[in-house]
Amino acid sequence: MNLEKVIFAFFIVFAATLNFGFFIGDIDRPELHNIYELFAAIVVNMIATVLKFGDRTQIGAVLLSTSLVADLQLITAAVIWAIAVHINGTGMTPEVTSSVVSLSGGALLANIISVTMLVVETVMMRR
């Protein structure tokens, strides 16, 4: 067992699960989507992105790009949340919540692609 690969896989799967936890629930109900879970998803996604910088294979490049997409979408969701609550003062209306949750759904799709590629790469190494 390689400790580096365990840590790498841990952060990829942890990022996907945190993102899923934020995404799940009715899309227009802000009480079902916790801001701290979104923050945790952003932080763990960024850690996973940094861990992917060292992989110089073609699969590593695709993993890095999916992670960058997830980071971009989650950060955009957080910015929309912050603008609605702290700048506009409108709060989390159903429209704003739908935008934030939709962006986290896009990040979730990118995370699912990362996890799938990680599993495929792991299965191919066994052969």
Return the percentage of the chain with pLDDT > 90, whole number.
80
Q: Tell which wins on pLDDT, 56 or 27.
A: 27
DSSP summary character for residue 88:
S
Location of structure tokens 């690969």: 5
Rounded Cα gap, residues 19 and 111, in angstroms:
8
DSSP summary character for residue 32:
G
Q: Would you place residue 5 in the very low, low, confident or very high pLDDT band (cuts 50, 70, 90)?
A: confident
- 3 CB neighbour count, 10 Å cutoff: 7
> Tokens for 16?
């996907």
For residue 93, what pLDDT is reported?
A: 93
In the chain, the amino acid numbered 113 is: I
Q: Which residues contact 3 (CB under 8 A, 6 or more apart)?
A: none
